[in-house]
Structure 1
Amino acid sequence: MTKVRVFAPAKINLSLHITGQLNNGYHLIDSLVAFADIGDWITLTEHGLRELSVTGPEAVPDLSSDTNIMWHAAQKFWSPDRPLSMGLEKHLPMASGIGGGSADAAATYRGLLLLRAAVEGAGTPRDPTPADARDLLAIGADVPMCVLSDPARIQGIGEQITPVPELFPYAIVLVNPRVQVSTPAVFSKLAIKDNPGLDPWPDRFEDRDAALAWIAAQRNDLQVPAIANCPDIADVLSALKRIETCRLARMSGSGATCFGIFERVHLAQAAAEAIRAAYPDWWVRSGRLNGGKQAVPQLIRSTT
């Protein structure tokens, strides 16, 4: 029996510009994304009869059903005649704008490549293929970027990925008001769907303050329509902005999770504690960006 464990980091849209809409309804984006050291954990085992167990503080019964996005990845990247059990240790809230489901599917894909290599004695996983990229995009527009789990500029419907290796690992606080937001409902309230893309990306930034100033000059075009659907988002942003050490507060994705960027980890931790004390019903976590470095699958047990 062989087992693989994979970290599924939260995806943070540091900016999200909606630049158009295709005839099939898909929206075009221009977004700077990064990944936090906050996320879910996936366990894959070559054993059992296609079972998914869900644990963790954000576990809900529906997550263990055969409609879970992790099964979509398993159907495409694991042989149906081979045993497989999956475990999801859920730490990210559902429908929260930080790519929880997409991150889980991406982690499942990465883990299945390693699991297959271990089972077949190949040593190392095969490289991703163009066919993989198409299948991953079919599972969800955010899944390919979550497979990368590194800072990147994302364009098109999510398939155009340009790595941004120099992004500083800022300290962050993530806050969700415990309200699920419907992405289609947010898009339906977006008045203008052909907005300008990101400002030109500099060849280099002088320092992390210059990079943060560039990020602050960008937008999340979904923030205003999301607040119209969920006024609690405005409360979250206000709570972050009231913290004197918060350098930037913005919503991620289509909400309702918002992020605050801080100079140092201890400042982010102190801000998280203050917000948690003031709003005990909210989901609040502190950490760092570039947490996707932890997302490499680990072969944690292999016996015969």
Structure 2
Amino acid sequence: MNCIKIKAPAKLNLSLDITGQREDGYHLLEMVMQTIHLYDQITLEKSNEISLECDCPDIPCNGKNLAVKAAKAFFHATHLDGGVKITLQKRIPHGAGMGGGSSDAAAVLKGLNRLYHTPLSTKQLDKIGLKLGADVPFCLHGGTMLVTGIGENLLELQDMFPCWFVVAKPEQGLSTVEVYQAYDALEEQQMIRPKTNGVIQAIYEKDLETLSRSMANVLEYAVPLQEIAEIRQTMHQHGAYIAQMTGSGSAVFGIFEQEEDAKECAVSLSQTYQQVYVCKPCKK
């Protein structure tokens, strides 16, 4: 086998709370995360060197790309004298807080482990992934999970109950580093923080009302984009139980019980925003 194809799903943060900060500057997080049926498509071919081709001109194809970093980390960890040609069909919005780069990196790690028939365990892949980014370990697993620490502590939850997500991204993307810096610079204020246990309970009880009352993302306080509020308002007008920013933004998602309502909302948002998606949650 010299070539494989693998899907890299996007993620949403059903909740995101910052519980502290380590001495090295890393933020301590408490998040309930969910993969969705929106994918980048990655093709891996054995090669003598590491290279990347991407159909999105905004994505760097050099050593700054997480997929390339993942390939380098894989060959360093396995001590293999090999390479890979990575072909990336980009569908997950860039700068959206949807984990596109992290999911690509996770897909490359899993794919190379299969392509080169190496025996790296899930725990070993998680360890490599964490050095690449806080979201990579989760993206290696997917489904519905509670993620804590700096992204290294993963607890598998029950699969998200059937529902529909509408995701809309403003034209302006956001830098994760800059959003966290803006959060750190905020003056003390009363934030609406997620009730993480309530989110988890709602998932197990398939209770959309409780879920909507428990969800929140504290990083929204650090993002002053007017479009986020406008997207949320449109989603609520079309029947979303909850609408909030995912990750460090700038994408916003709403949760709908009925497919028809979700599609009507997407049509309305598409009149203003180019990147609008209707998705279902992925199962483990």
Q: Tell me the TM-score normalised to structure 1 length.
A: 0.82
Match of 2:213 in 1: 216
Aligned to 2:243: 249
- The CA deviation string for residues 147-206 of structure 1, in whole angstroms up to 9 with x for no partner, is 001110111111110011232132111100111112233223333599686235439844
Large movers: runs of 4+ above 6 Å: 193-197
Which residue is equivalent to 1:298?
A: none
Cα deviation, 1:260-297, whole Å, max 9, x if unaligned, reads 111133332222112102x0x4310111011x65xxxx
Q: Equivalent residue of 2:241, what SS?
A: strand
Please give the alpha-carbon distance, in whole angstroms, between the structure 1 residues aligned to 2:203 and 2:256.
21
Return the alpha-carbon distance in structure 2 between the equivalents of residues 37 and 86 of structure 1: 22
Deviations 1:95-119 (A, max 9, x none): 11111100100111111111112xx
Residues 215 and 17 of structure 1, relative CA distance in 2, 3 Å threshold: farther
Q: Match for 1:282 among 228, 250, 274? A: 274
Q: CA deviation at 1:248?
A: 1.3
Find the partner of 1:67 among 64, 67, 86.
64
* Map 1:115-194 → 2, pairs under 5 A: 115-117=115-117, 126=119, 128-190=121-183, 191=186
SS at structure 2 position matched to 1:222? helix
Look up the SS of the partner of 1:199 in the other structure. helix
In the aligned structure 1, how far is the partner of 2:203 from the partner of 2:169? 33
Unaligned residue ranges in structure 2 (runs of 5+): none
1:46-101 CA distance string (max 9 Å, x none): 1364221111xxx1254212221111111121356324211000011211111110
Contact 2:3 2:43 (8 Å CA) reproduced: yes
SS of the residue 1:81 aligns to? coil
Return the letter of the residue paired with 1:68.
Answer: N
Residue-by-residue CA offset, 1:213-246 (whole Å, 9 max, x unaligned) = 23532311111221x2x22222221222221x21
2:44: which partner in 1?
44
Per the alignment, in what secondary structure is the counterpart of residue 35 of structure 1?
strand
What is the alpha-carbon distance in structure 2 between the residues aligned to residue 61 and residue 28 of structure 1?
30
Describe the SS at the equivalent of 2:215.
coil
* AA matched with 1:28: L
- Cα gap change, 1:80/1:62 in structure 2, threshold over 3 Å: closer, same or farther? farther
Question: Once the 2 structures are TM-superposed, how far is the Cα of residue 126 of structure 1 from its aligned partner?
Answer: 3.3
The range that moved more, 107-116 or 183-192, is: 183-192
- Partners of 1:167 and 1:101 in 2: CA distance: 23
Q: Judge conservation of contact 1:19–1:196 (CA < 8 Å) in 2.
A: no
Relative to structure 1, the CA distance from residue 136 to residue 204 in structure 2 (aligned partners, 3 Å threshold; closer, same or farther) is closer
Q: Does 1:108 align with 2:108?
A: yes
Structure-1 separation of matches of 2:143 and 2:269: 28
**Any residues of structure 2 matched to 1:24-43 within 5 Å, and which?**
24-43=24-43
What amino acid is aligned across from residue 248 of structure 1 in structure 2? Answer: I
Q: Distance in 2 between matches of 1:149 and 1:238?
A: 29
1:271 to 259, 265, 269: 265
Unaligned 5+ runs, structure 1? 118-124, 294-304
The DSSP-based 3-state class of the residue aligned with 1:162 is strand
- Assess if the C-alpha contact under 8 Å between 1:265 and 1:288 holds in 2: no
Distance 2:113 2:270 in 1: 39
Equivalent-residue separation in structure 2 for 1:203 and 1:181 (angstroms)? 30
Say how many residue pairs are matched.
275
What is residue 91 of structure 1 aligned with on the other side?
91
**Whole-Å separation in 2 of the counterparts to 1:4 and 1:242:** 43
Q: Secondary structure at the match of 1:272?
A: helix
Aligned-CA RMSD value = 2.4
| Structure 2 counterpart of 1:182, one-letter code | S
